[in-house]
């Protein structure tokens, strides 16, 4: 990898489920691969907003070229308007392998704000 690519994703609406599919041009996501990612308000933020992983069920392998990231309402309800950043690391390899991208995703407060069980 020659560098980290920054990509912008579609807006996250606070309090609602968010799903984003990531597609590769080659088969980079084999069965049994495991991934971990951290969500932060900015790359330099010391505190994580959420951790994502295949083990927790919020990084899903769709096929050999597609991963889906899922942020549940109990995660998005705690986000602040503005944006978040996240990346993914493949953890079933030695050493762990960063996938070489950072997503910058805008976060917005929707007009309709339904109660989220267990949310902030």
Instruction: Give the list of residues 6+ apart from residue 46 with CB closer than 8 angstroms, or none.
Output: none
- Residues spanned by the domain of 100: 5-108
Q: How many domains does the chain have?
A: 1
CA 74 to chain centre: 14
* Domain contains 64: yes
Residue 44: give its domain's CATH number: 2.60.40.10
Q: Is residue 3 scored above 60 in pLDDT?
A: no
d(CA 96, CA 107): 29
* Domain contains 118: no
Q: What is the pLDDT of residues 43-96, one digit of tens each?
A: 999 999 999 999 999 999 999 999 999 999 999 999 999 999 999 999 999 999
* Domain contains 69: yes
* Domain contains 116: no
């Amino acid at each position: 990898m020659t560098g980290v690519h920054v990509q912008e994703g579609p807006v996250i609406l606070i309090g609602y489920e968010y799903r984003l599919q990531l597609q590769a041009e080659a088969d980079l996501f084999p069965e049994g691969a495991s991934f971990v990612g951290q969500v932060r308000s900015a790359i330099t933020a010391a505190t994580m907003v959420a951790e994502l992983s295949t083990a927790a069920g919020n990084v899903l392998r769709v096929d050999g070229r597609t991963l889906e990231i899922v942020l549940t309402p109990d995660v998005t309800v705690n986000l602040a308007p503005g944006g978040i950043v996240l990346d993914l690391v493949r953890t079933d390899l030695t050493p762990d392998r960063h996938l070489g991208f950072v997503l910058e995703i805008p976060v917005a407060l929707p007009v309709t704000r339904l109660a989220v069980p267990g949310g902030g």
